[in-house]
Amino acid sequence: MDSGRLLRGVLRLLGAVLILAACVLLGQMLSRRLRERRLFLRGCHQGLLALMREIDYAASPMRRALPAAAEPAGPAAQLFLRAAELLAGSPGCTAGEAWLKALDEQPALADEDRRLLSLLSEGLGLSDAASQLKALELLRQRLEAAETGAAEQMARYGKIWRSLGWSMGAILILLLL
């Protein structure tokens, strides 16, 4: 009798620990997603700045400029590298098309970020340096605004998700026990 009660107690405790761990992990994951989105947008912003420098100062062709843009792009480096790879490896593929294909291969990207980044494909490489820089600067400003928004979201909701994880876990345990 006593041993059965003990076993039930241990199982309840184990269940409570698992519920709490799951809720905390969920909170951490949601918080990390906000942080990763911010870092990805910052990487894209840095990559775009490097792309602008390559066009402005070195007049590098796109197949050299895209890998160069990947260097400071941090978590977004793969996007620039993949676009360069597709451009070099697909005859008849333009830089804009390569960029769109590379974006499609990023499934974790939020729809609003995908829409924003797809703007880079429009007319990429099709005009003189001044026009390219003008178009890229407009996109850079929008990326900067998106990055600022993502940073605010992270500051506002990052802690909330983490705390919610703990709180939800505790509430669930209390309800279930």
Partner 1 sequence: MEKMIYRQILPYLPLELRQILLDSDEHRLVALEELRLRPLLPPLLRFSHDEAFLAADGSLTEHPQAGRPLSESELRKIVLLLSDSSFYAIEEELRRGYITLPGGHRAGLCGRAVLSGGAVKTLKDISAVNIRIARPIMGLAAPLLPRLVDANGRLLHTLIVSEPRGGKTTLLRDLTRVVSDGEGVRPLRMGVIDERSELAAMRGGIPQLPIGIRSDVMDGCPKAEGINMLLRSMGPEALVCDEIGRPEDAAAIMEAINGGVKMLCSAHGASIEEIISRPVLAQLIHQRAFERIVLLSRREGPGTLEWIRDGSLEAC
Contact 155, 8 (CB under 8 A): no
Q: Which residues contact 72 (CB under 8 A, 6 or more apart)?
A: 46, 47, 49, 50
- Using CB under 8 A as the binding rule, whether residue 92 contacts partner 1 is answered as yes
Q: Which residues contact 75 (CB under 8 A, 6 or more apart)?
A: 36, 39, 40, 43
| Residues 45-84 close enough to bind partner 1 by CB under 8 A | 55, 59-63, 65
Work out which of 6, 11, 15, 127 binds partner 1, going by CB under 8 A: 127
Q: Whose Cβ is closer to partner 1: residue 41's or residue 66's?
A: 66
Q: How many residues does the chain have?
A: 177
Q: Whose Cβ is closer to partner 1: residue 124's or residue 164's?
A: 124
Contact 20, 169 (CB under 8 A): yes
- Using CB under 8 A as the binding rule, whether residue 28 contacts partner 1 is answered as no
- Using CB under 8 A as the binding rule, whether residue 87 contacts partner 1 is answered as yes
CB of 133 to partner 1, least distance (A): 9
Distance (Å, rounded) from C-alpha 36 to C-alpha 45?
Answer: 14
- Using CB under 8 A as the binding rule, whether residue 125 contacts partner 1 is answered as yes
- Give alpha helix (H) positions in 54-128: 62-70, 77-89, 95-104, 111-118
- Using CB under 8 A as the binding rule, whether residue 89 contacts partner 1 is answered as no
Q: Whose Cβ is closer to partner 1: residue 70's or residue 164's?
A: 70
Q: Which spans of this chain sit near partner 1 (rule: CB under 8 A)?
A: 55, 59-63, 65, 87, 91-92, 94-96, 98, 124-129, 131-132
